[in-house]
Amino acid sequence: MNALGIIFSYSEYENLRELTKIRTLASIPFAGKYRIIDFILSNYVNSGIHDISIITKINYHSLVDHLGAGKEWDLTRKIGGLRILSPFSTPGSLDNTGNYKGTIDALYKSMHSIKRSMAEYVIIAGSNFICSIDYEEVLKSHIERNADITLIYTYPREGEILPHGAAMIRMDESERVYELNYNKMDSISQDMPVCMSMFVLRKSLLESLVADSIAFGRYDFYRDIIQRLCGNLNILGYEHKNIYFEVSNVTDYMKENMKLLDEQTSKKVFEKPVYTKIKDSVPAYYCAGSQVSNSIISDGCKIEGTVINSVLSRGVIVGKGSVVKNSIIMQDTEILNNVTLNNVILDKEVIVRENRQLVGHETYPVVIEKKSII
Amino acid sequence: MSREKKKEMIAMLLAGGQGSRLGILTKHVAKPAIPFGGKYRIIDFTLSNCVNSGIDTVGVLTQYRPLELNSYIGNGQPWDLDRLFGGISILPPYTKSKEGEWYKGTANAIYQNIEYIEMSNPTYVLVLSGDHIYKMNYKMMLEYHIETEAACTIAVLNVPPEETYRFGMINTDENLKIYEFEEKPLHAKSTMASMGVYIFTWEKLKSYLIADEANKKSENDFGKNIMPMMLEAGENLYAYEYKGYWKDVGTVESLWESNMDLLDPDVPIELNDPPWRIYSRNETLPSQYIGNNAKLNNVMVSDGCSINGELEKSIIFPDVKIKEGAVIKNSIVMQGATVGNNTALNYAIIASDTVIGDNVCIGAGAAMGPDGHHPEITVIGPYITIDDGVVIPAGAMIEESIIKKEGE
């Protein structure tokens, strides 16, 4: 496909507490063995796009470590391939701080790399929405409908609270976007479509829009391009009707992970292959006396205790007599004997020693930072 | 420009065997490509031993049904064997200007690839077979080979006296210098059996391969021809004692047993060993899902599985679906298979992508098997369908689908 993929590995509106303290949004573990970036990259690869740039801002070591040379996503290429664009500051400029003022600033400072691509179109994606989408279809509709920018949107699920910072749009009957607003409070608004932070446009248009905005000191893609220019540009919506997950705060993160315990949901998410880093871990082992129900378990886990309604990443150990309920346990975390966990998120490489009890609530899970010993 | 390209030791892996005693399991694939241990293939153990021992050049000699093995090996990337100089090469027999023939024997297979070996200009050549389960550091064996100044070092393990008839036995003096070979003797003088792992000093091996090829009566076999010839010529041949776990998976029984060994904490084969990982080609599959009614008791389960039945002492490969009410005991279910509702499996091997219907009973009325340790193993071949309600007696080997006719 004649398109360049651009991924923002971070979000300016997230509240993931300890989870993004040491990593960028895109490298948060999700659905057991995956990271959020796996779903986003797999969408591109499954749509035939093999030329991808990832824009990073801070704490992206874990992302670089996860992606390596992009081999597992079939992105180690001579033509195109994966590029991780680390923060860049223009030499000689006044703002030589290496920090981006906004999404447009980030694009501007990555322009040398974007310009190098021979692709005609760009497909931009953020890291806060996880879904399975065919970009080929989106691009087809973009060309057919003669759009300047195609914005992918969806309707919030019934009764769910729209997170702070969600970009709500208004469209006319031909799906032309004429208004965009940020959600400023946790409100329930079911009929208001929400932008899924994915856009399609011509690369040449992106280049001139970015140059123009920078000249006027405008830095926010939503506010300064979509919101400001929706009167002049033909910005069209494209509805994503399939299932999606949104990760912008810890409660949602927990809830969205738990949705994957429904087999129908997980079937839809994994209809097309989702690629991830290969760890060469052994198959999961369930000892005599273990009790596991309604849970996602990954390779390399060793379970002696009880696991209920939980999601376990690779290499998790659950000791004898321990009970893990409604929890998310990340890679290589060790839970020793007779531990009780309920509504807890344990980050990577945590050790929970014998007889400890950690209990959170559905609406406010306990989050334990990477490498903690409890 | 003369940059010398040289490897100290390269490995030649014999992977052309059929393994006919495995029946339907090797009907479509060579023995080294048989799935093993949840997510591996048998050849993964030898390949991983090579890379973990620092060997980065491996020639895989294929002959019998190589297609699946070829595509499994690919460019060797899963084993870190995609290298600028060296790496993995698949070596099938090929035609030469005037003649060209199949590999006649193990030694002939190496003989036909002398040119390949010389491309790396090695000092030593490690000859392996691709059908054994073990973890071994060949680097230590090479150190021993250099220390003893041997022309050939043979890895040996101790076997019980009643099993010597299955192996090539080796008799040595107290310094482990070999003075005699006995091929599958009923009453052996020693308990040292050859593991099919040899290190040769390449210059020596090359001359004996050429001499052996000139002898029209030779069977061109390492154990039967090359080694005895070297011994006769007065070369130094040494045995290298290996003390770990080793299993030849040549029969249905031994394949089942060595899989079950992985579930037995008393058997010294640990796969979860980060400094000595067993690498394999991984499928793109999500994490496994364990349902509400699942019971798992001493079970290994791989990626992509959905488990809703009761499992005991079993090994489940990737992407297997086990439905509610199914009871699986002492069994191996290979990749992509489905086991229906209320189906019972006992002492069974279900091959890849086979669909077992509801209320099926496999391994019914299990009688004690030939070795008396466990009941007979039932084997259901790959890519077939067993219809609802079918009963398959213990010890059967099913090669074709069993579909009930209308009205039955």
Q: What is the pLDDT of residues B126-159, one digit of tens each?
A: 999 988 999 999 999 999 999 999 999 999 999 9
Q: Is the pLDDT of residue B1 over 50?
A: no
Inter-chain touch A295–B290, beta carbons under 8 Å: yes
B190 sits in which H/E element: none
How far is the C-alpha of A374 from the C-alpha of A367, rounded, in Å?
Answer: 12
Buried/exposed A301-331: b ≥16 CB within 10 Å, e otherwise: bbbbbbbbbbbbbbbbbbbebbbbbbbbbbb
How many angstroms from the chain centroid is the CA of residue B379?
18
Which bin fits A70, alpha (ψ -120 to 50), beta or left (φ > 0)?
Answer: left
Question: Of the given ranges (A205-214, B160-169, B232-241), which has the lowest mean pLDDT?
Answer: B160-169
- Cβ-based contacts of A286 with chain B (< 8 Å): 296-301, 311
The two structure tokens encoding residue A229: 């220019």
How far is the C-alpha of B107 from the C-alpha of B93, rounded, in Å?
Answer: 13
The two structure tokens encoding residue B302: 């791989």
| HSE value, Cβ hemisphere, 13 Å, CA-based, for A307 | 32
Across B188-206, average pLDDT: 94
Report the 10 Å Cβ neighbour count for B127. 23
- Nearest-CB residue to B296 (from A32, A286, A311): A286
CA dihedral of residues B111, B112, B115, B119 (deg, nearest 10)? -80
- Nearest-CB residue to B298 (from A71, A287, A298): A287
Give B304: exposed, middle or buried? Use CB within 10 Å, 0-12, 13-18, 19+: buried
B397 in reach of chain A (CB within 8 A): no
The two structure tokens encoding residue A183: 């959600």
B278 in reach of chain A (CB within 8 A): yes
Question: Which residues, other chains included, contact A137 with Cβ-Cβ below 8 Å and sequence gap of 6+?
Answer: none
For an interface test with B, which of A34, A245, A299 has the most B Cβ atoms less than 10 Å from its Cβ?
Answer: A299
Q: What is the mean pLDDT of chain B?
A: 92
B311 to chain A, minimum CA–CA distance in Å? 10
Closest CA to B38 of B227, B260, B215: B260
How far is the C-alpha of B34 from the C-alpha of B40, rounded, in Å?
Answer: 8
Question: Which residues, other chains included, contact A63 with Cβ-Cβ below 8 Å and sequence gap of 6+?
Answer: A9, A23, A24, A26, A27, A35, A37, A54, A56, A84
Report the 10 Å Cβ neighbour count for A184. 9
Inter-chain touch B286–A281, beta carbons under 8 Å: no
Residue pair B54/B8 in contact (Cβ under 8 Å)? The answer is no
What is the Rg, in whole angstroms, of the alpha carbon atoms belonging to chain B? 23
Tokens 């219809």 belong to B387
| pLDDT category of residue B185 using cuts at 50, 70 and 90 | confident
Residue pair A294/A311 in contact (Cβ under 8 Å)? The answer is no
Task: Report pLDDT digits (tens) over A250-300.
Answer: 998 999 999 999 999 999 999 999 999 999 999 999 999 999 999 999 999
B265 in reach of chain A (CB within 8 A): no
How much is the pLDDT for B408? 54
Domains, chain A, with CATH or none: 3-269 (3.90.550.10), 285-368 (2.160.10.10)
B38 in reach of chain A (CB within 8 A): yes
- Cβ-based contacts of A33 with chain B (< 8 Å): 286-287, 303
How far is the C-alpha of A143 from the C-alpha of A120, rounded, in Å?
Answer: 12
Report the 10 Å Cβ neighbour count for B258. 22
- Nearest-CB residue to B290 (from A270, A273, A292): A292
Helix (H, G, I), strand (E, B) or coil at B232: helix
The two structure tokens encoding residue A125: 């994606």
Residue pair B239/B154 in contact (Cβ under 8 Å)? The answer is yes
For an interface test with A, which of B271, B290, B307, B335 has the most A Cβ atoms less than 10 Å from its Cβ?
Answer: B290
Tokens 């994915």 belong to A198
Amino acid at B235: E
Query: What single-letter DSSP state applies at residue B296?
Result: E
Query: What single-letter DSSP state applies at residue B226?
Result: I
Start-to-end CA distance of chain A, whole Å, equals 50
- Cβ-based contacts of A31 with chain B (< 8 Å): 286-287
Inter-chain touch A297–B301, beta carbons under 8 Å: yes
Alpha carbon distances (Å) from B175 to A293, B110, B154, B244: 57, 29, 14, 21
| Residues of chain A falling short of pLDDT 50 | none
Percent of chain B with pLDDT over 90: 75
Question: Which residues, other chains included, contact B3 with Cβ-Cβ below 8 Å and sequence gap of 6+?
Answer: none
Helix (H, G, I), strand (E, B) or coil at B254: helix
B123 in reach of chain A (CB within 8 A): no
Report the 10 Å Cβ neighbour count for A284. 29
